[in-house]
Copies of this chain bind each other. A is one copy, B any other.
Amino acid sequence: MIKVEEAEAIIQAQARNYGVEVVPLEQALGRVLAIDLKADRDLPPFNRVAMDGIAIKYEAFKQGTRTFHINATQAAGDKPVEIYTLDACNEIMTGAALPTTVDTVIRYEDLEIKNGTATILTDEIKRGQNIHQQGKDKQAGDVVAPANKLIDAALIGVAASVGATELRVKTLPKVVVISTGDELVAIQDSPLPYQIRKSNTYTIQAALQKYKIEAELLHIPDDRQSIKQQLQKCLQKYDVIILSGGISMGKFDYVPEVLEDLEVKKLFHKVQQRPGKPFWFGKHANGVLVFALPGNPASTFMCLHRYFMPWLQKSIGLPEAKVYAALSIDFVFEAPLQYFLQVSLSINPKGQLIATPLAGNGSGDFANLVEANAFLELPAEKSNFKQGEVYRVWPFKPLV
C-alpha cells in the first residue's frame, strides 16, 4: 500500500502528449490549443474611432478653431475620407477607421451640429482622444493566445478576429470505460432484488466530457476468460482503459491477475486512502495505461477526480490548478488513511473558500455526490481536523 502522494507521482510520471490535430473553429470549444495563436494584423488593425462624433486635426483646435465644416460622414466599415483643410471635419462613427489626415475625435455630447457645421462646446480636448490606436492591444505577429490554453468563449472570439477558421489542438487520448460485476444490469432493466443498475461508467463518461473526451463504454462479465479476451482487444484499440470494479480481494476479482497475464505492468495496487483503497494502476509495454478503479461509486468518482483528471490535464498540457479551502467545522477521522471528505464548497463574502462536510455514510454514499461539489483531502497523519484549518480540495463541479 502506497501513500496518496506516491500514487499521484507515479501516475503523473505517465503523462503523455497524444499529439496534435486540426479542428474547425466551431468544434474547438473545450479543446486545448496546441500552438501559439498569432495576430494576422494589428489589433486594432487601424486607428479605431471609439466614440461617435467628429474627427479633426488637433492643430486646428489648438489654433483656436471651434467650428468645422463637415467634409464627409464616415460610418464604421467605410473607407476613410481624408481631410485637407484645417477648418474641416468628418462626422465619424464608433468602429470607423480614422483617416490619416486627422488625429482627434470629439464626441457628440461635446458638439452642436447644424447646417453642415459642427461646433465644439468644450475646451477640454486632448490630442488623440477617443481613438483606440492601431496595434495598441496586439501587433501583427504577437501571440493572442498561447499554446496549452483551454479554448473558451473568449478564445473563440479572438480566434475569429484573427481569421482562424480552424485551430490546431491537442489530440485527446482514446478512452474506454469498462464496468465489471455480475450484479450489474442495464439502466432500463428492472433489477432482481440482489442486482443493481450500472451507473459508474455513465458517470465517468459524463465527467470526461468536460474535456471533450467521448469515451466508449463496455461491460465485461466476472469471468476470467471474458475479461482476458476483452482487455486484450482494448489494449490494441485504446490509449487508456478505465476499469470500474473487480480489483478487491474477492474470489472473482480477476482484473489484476488478468492484467498481469496480458503484460500490463502493475505500477501500484492499493493506496492509503478512503474511499478508493483498492485502486490499481498499470502500463502495458505498448504505452496503454490502465486505471483500475474500485467499483464502489464514490470510490470510482474520487479516484477519477484525484488521479485521472490531473493526469489528463497534464497530458493535454493544462496547468495544475491547486485549490484550498477552510473546514467549516471540526472533523474527526481516526483511520490512518488519507480521507477524502465529501464537502459543499462555497465562497463567503470575505472571498474565502469554505468546505462544509456533508452528512453521509462513508465511501458508499454516492447519492451525496449530487449535493457535494468537492472532496476535501485530509492528511493520513492526522485524526483531528479543526474548524478553519485549510486543506487541499478537489472540486468536481464548477463553483459558478
Contact = CB atoms under 8 A, between A and B. Distances in A.
A102 to B, nearest CB: 14
Contact of A193 (B46, B199, B250, B361): B46
A206 B30 CA distance: 10
B194 A97 contact: yes
Instruction: With a 10 A CB-CB cut-off, give which of A78, A160, A295 has the most chain B CB atoms.
Output: A160
A366 interface: yes
A253 interface: yes
B194 A79 contact: yes
A127 interface: no
A364 B137 contact: yes
Interface string A356-400: 000001001111111010000000000000000010000111111
A175 interface: no
Contacts of A251: 52, 73, 75, 91, 93
Interface of A: 25, 29, 39, 41, 43-46, 48, 50-52, 73, 75-80, 91, 93-97, 107-109, 132, 136-138, 144-145, 149-150, 152-158, 160-165, 181-184, 187-200, 202-204, 206-207, 209, 222, 245, 248-253, 295-297, 301, 321-326, 347-354, 361, 364-370, 372, 390, 395-400
24 contacts: A45-B193, A50-B364, A51-B248, A76-B183, A77-B184, A78-B194, A97-B194, A132-B361, A136-B364, A152-B206, A153-B206, A153-B209, A154-B301, A154-B372, A154-B397, A158-B370, A160-B199, A321-B399, A322-B347, A322-B349, A324-B349, A325-B351, A347-B353, A395-B400
